[in-house]
Amino acid sequence: MGDGARISAAVVGGGIIGLATARRLATLDVDVTVYEKESALAAHQTGHNSGVVHAGLYYTPGSLKAQLCRRGMEMLREFTDERGIPYDECGKLVVALDRSELGRLDAIEARARANGVPGIRRIDAAGIAAIEPHARGVAALHSPRTAITDYVAISRAFADDVVGAGGTVRTGTTVTGLSTAGDRVVVDTDDGAVAHDLVVTCAGLHSDRLARAAGDPAAPRIVPFLGDYRLLRPPAADRVRGLIYPVPDPRYPFLGVHLTRRIDGEVMVGPNAFLAAGREAYDGLGVSWRDLRDAVLWPGFARFAVHNTTAAWRELRTATSSRRFVADAARYVPGLTVDDVRPGPRGIRAQAMNVDGSLEDDFVITGRGRVVHLRNAPSPGATSSMAIAEYVVDAALERLR
């Protein structure tokens, strides 16, 4: 990069966070190229999630998740309004089924207030019925600003902005490695090598492999967990107006079955959470022996499994029984039966796991020199995408300068 020359940057990954990062670079007059191995953008986690825009209820105050979710939600709301992308503040209820859950609901409320979640309020059973007439519980938190949107449409709009600013989006291009050559970073692809001044990797399900190939530590390892959904058939779908969630149980690593209205009008029930046989196992078993080996031979996986046998049994029941799956949802919306659902989509969660078996809860951003890696960006990653991009890019450019 000579005096007065534009900075050249590469972003690896064409999901919503990678494209938001590229857009941020482009708006700062950086010559940016996005490398995406699939033929289409937003083909993995971005295109397989429920479309929820989270308001920041659950996250540890002061964490990156808490900070970037709140800012990201506001940025996303403004962006969708400017572009005419559907955005519906349908609201969310976190429902306590009985008094035994009230203490945990108190803790979530305290976090939500510490995080400045707008409009949050505690309601009783009558308040639940006023918002969701078919839902049941003894108390709930209502988050009126929690919304739903179309993350694929947002991703495409980000890509349009990149191209409009003179950047390049290269789909069907697999990045095979990164190496440093003087003050440049060489991006090796299946279509040749290109040198850049700065590289940001947002590789999602393959983030750990790309980071390790660039010299990053092995931990945390991505262990993929699949989540299957069912869709409510009419007229059962009319019984859910917005989002109905359980109170998180600290005994379990994942949230459990909940009900989510999508921006297209469908209502999703789920997901469960179970070890995926492949990082891209969206259909059937989808076995990838490499992915399975990398997961189960990771030292942290055995430690995780030992401490989560109860959770594994719970998830196995919903993974193998539609009746059990729907029964979990019917605790919140009584009367739902297996006849009210049909098969829905599947998502794969890129869950970062530490050597001690703990699941990495916060966003993880690592790297050195002219390379930055986004190692972990689970929910609310999509909500936070624009804020993550701002945080990563501004820090990286300051370090580069």
Provide the pLDDT for residue 314: 81
Is the pLDDT score of 136 beyond 60?
Answer: yes
Mean pLDDT on 92-118: 97
Angle, helices 385-400/64-83, rounded to nearest 10 degrees: 110
Mean pLDDT, the chain, whole residue set: 95
Give which of 153, 189, 200, 187 is closest to 24, Cα–Cα.
200
Q: Among 362, 358, 56, 109, which residue's Cα sits nearest to residue 247? A: 109
Amino acid at 170: R
Q: Going by CATH, does the domain composed of 221-359 fall within 3.10.450? A: no
Mean pLDDT over residues 110-122, rounded?
97
Where does CATH 3.50.50.60 sit in the chain?
8-47+152-220+362-400
Phi, psi of 257 (to 5 degrees): -65, 135
Every domain of the chain with CATH number 3.30.9 lies at: 221-359
pLDDT score of 109 more than 50 = yes
* Banded pLDDT at 206 (limits 50, 70, 90): very high
Give the pLDDT of residue 121. 98
- Is the pLDDT at 285 greater than 80? The verdict is no
Domain 8-47+152-220+362-400 fold = FAD/NAD(P)-binding domain (3.50.50)
- pTM reported for the whole predicted model: 0.96
Least confident of 91-105, 107-121, 291-305, 310-324: 310-324
Confidence of residue 4 (pLDDT cuts 50, 70, 90): low
The string of pLDDT tens digits covering residues 231-269 is 999 999 999 999 999 999 888 888 989 999 999 999 999
pLDDT at 310: 86
> Which range has the worst mean pLDDT, 198-207, 318-327, 355-364?
318-327
Q: How confident is the model at residue 318 (pLDDT cuts 50, 70, 90)?
A: confident
Split at pLDDT 50, 70, 90, the class of 12 is very high
CB count within 10 Å of CB 38 equals: 16
Residue 2's pLDDT is: 45
Quick one: tokens of 13?
């990954």
CA 153, 154, 155, 161 torsion-angle sign: positive
What is the pLDDT, as a whole number, of residue 315?
A: 84
Where is 314: in which H helix or E strand? Answer: helix 309-320
The rounded distance, in Å, linking the Cα atoms of 137 and 295 is: 38
- Tens of pLDDT along 14-63? 999 999 999 999 999 999 999 999 999 999 999 999 999 999 999 999 99
Reply yes or no: is the peptide bond before residue 253 cis, omega within 30 of 0.
no
Q: pLDDT value at position 3? A: 52
- By CB atoms closer than 10 A (0-12, 13-18, 19+), residue 287 is exposed
